Amino acid sequence: METNPTIPGAVVLFDGVCNLCNHTVDFILRHDPHSYFYFASLQSEIAQQLLSGYPNAGTYASQLDTVLLVEKGKVYEKSSAVLRIASRLSWQWQWLRIFSIVPRPLRNRLYDWVARNRYRWFGKKSTCRLPSPAERARFL
């Protein structure tokens, strides 16, 4: 399954009630110079539709503790998604790509540790994020 052809970039799927995830979305919005990224909550119907054509769709649908990036017909998860996102941000953040030399299992171990503790450290909302009127065009 390809991403929606009307979306010129990639879709970041995130936990809509996680404060860390919502701050990360804000960060991406501020540092995405070409408006490449679009966003949807993992809890949304659109996320389930986007993921439905992929081999691991059932696994992805239950992973609220990870960020997923749907880009050019592929799904990236955890640290791989983060590094791909960083590669498209403004130049001062592209240095983060250096972490791609760290083996994925090690990167994902750190990612999983933060994901397990994100609610405790950053809190969570009672409902999913609602985009501001200025952001609405970037949310699916």
pLDDT of residue 6: 53
pLDDT of residue 83: 95
**Per-residue model confidence as pLDDT tens digits over 75-99:** 999 999 999 999 999 988 888 888 9
**Per-residue model confidence as pLDDT tens digits over 21-68:** 989 999 999 999 999 999 999 888 888 888 887 777 666 666 778 899
Mean pLDDT (whole number) for 112-138 = 86
Q: What amino acid occupies position 60? A: Y
Residue 7 to residue 132: CA distance in whole angstroms: 19
Q: For residue 3, is pLDDT > 80?
A: no
Domain boundaries, the chain: 10-131
The helix/strand count (H/E) of the chain reads as 5, 4
